[in-house]
Structure 1
């Protein structure tokens, strides 16, 4: 969430290469790298229906869990953790995030993790600081109340580009080379840009083009294929504002 300006850890190395445009993955070398990692484009003509019951949407340990303002997570929940560039990430997302960062480094995008796993208590602190600074109504548009944050699952990560920080945690991040690349390619690694323009009424949050959520490549590819912006819409799960 936007409150990720408060970092959980340090130790991320910046990349000095100049940013590249969203078309970088059309180069043979980049495509070959993705395919060697098992990130081929979906095959056209596939007729087997997608199994929407393959993973739970309510178990916080599931990669398909839906956490929003109407579906909270237990305060005591803590995922199995692995470290990615010094940040705590749920184990299922760690390898894919590592590959995404490595491939984007090779393209000169220079992403760094700004926030990943956040405990219930840490989220309470982040949210409370925003409420104190901006009021609860404003805070609820950009930050989750404790117990309602995807970051507590460890499956979400916020990325920034320190070499060009002007749009970090701002809507204009979507128009930067890094933001455009994530919008076009995050699905290849099993991630979705969780909070999209035009979906605030569904997700409850303003657009966040820097906020990635791991769902696994099959679901990420299916969301892309069906042009579905949110998990709530795909699984017919209530979203919106707090009750």
Structure 2
């Protein structure tokens, strides 16, 4: 067992982790109160009641209401892999500004990102999920069930680059753009949501193309302490 000391302001948390990196014990669990999920039961399903929370944790256990649509969706001024003015161009305002700055700074270093897929409605996610199950079976891990997708928050954007023909594939993580994101994304408030080695925690395969906006402070904290968003929320549960 490994011991890690995590410092959050004046609070010190001693976290014991196993080989897989899962939190086994905390003497002082800590998560910002404003980051916590507020969960209510809707039709027997654990549903997030505060979806505007920038740190909301949507996973295979907690969902968004089918009626939830972010109120501040805008189109970021970045290059896209398609021309149509459709929903997947959109992000929430704060995430959009951060994406624009990140793309611009990367371009100054000779790296060109392409935005592929942002916001998805509940209905659009249902369509994609049904197709994925038809093609790969119910155990597929690439497409979330409707309501359980981060894209519905308006805080997630899938990105790619020309060298892999704008595809969303694991090879993106080894491109200069993918490596740059791993090192710099948190400085703009984004995290690589589904990390390599965390599949057993997040429930999804490694997706180096899937960026999730959580704000700079939290993104830097997660990277520094090598925590997935799920592990961060689990600190408040004593998991």
Confirm or deny a common fold (TM above 0.5): yes
* Moved segments of 4+, more than 2 Å: 45-51, 54-58
1:183-241 Cα shifts (integer Å, max 9, x gaps): 0000000000000011111111000001000000000111122122x111112179xxx
Distance across 2 between alignment mates of 1:189 and 1:119: 25
Q: Conserved in 1, the CA contact under 8 Å of 2:114 and 2:159?
A: yes
Matched length: 190
Q: Report deviation, 1:99.
A: 0.5
Q: CA RMSD in A?
A: 2.1
- In the alignment, is the contact (CA less than 8 A) between 1:63 and 1:92 conserved in 2? no
Match of 1:81 among 73, 93, 97: 73
Give the corresponding residue for 2:34: 54
CA distance in 2, matches of 1:194, 1:46: 21
Aligned residue for 2:110? Answer: 108
TM-score normalised per structure 2: 0.74
1:168 deviation in Å?
Answer: 3.0
Question: Take 1:124 and 1:83, find their aligned partners in 2: how far apart are those partners?
Answer: 23
Query: Higher strand share goes to which structure?
Result: 2
- The TM-score normalised by the length of structure 1 is 0.73
Q: Decide whether the 8 Å contact of 1:118 with 1:154 is kept in 2.
A: yes
Structure 2 residue aligned with 1:223: 222
CA distance in 2, matches of 1:54, 1:214: 16
* Cα shift at 1:46: 8.6
Cα deviation for residue 167 of structure 1 reads 7.9
SS at match of 1:142: coil
3-state SS, counterpart of residue 164 of structure 1: helix
Supply the distance in 1 between the matched residues of 2:31 and 2:123 (Cα, whole angstroms). 35
Question: CA 1:51–1:126 in structure 2 vs 1: closer, same or farther (change >3 Å)?
Answer: closer
Counterpart secondary structure, 1:198: coil
Q: Which residue of 2 aligns with 1:69?
A: 60
2:3 — aligned with what? none
Higher RCO (CA-CA < 8 Å; seq separation 6+): 1
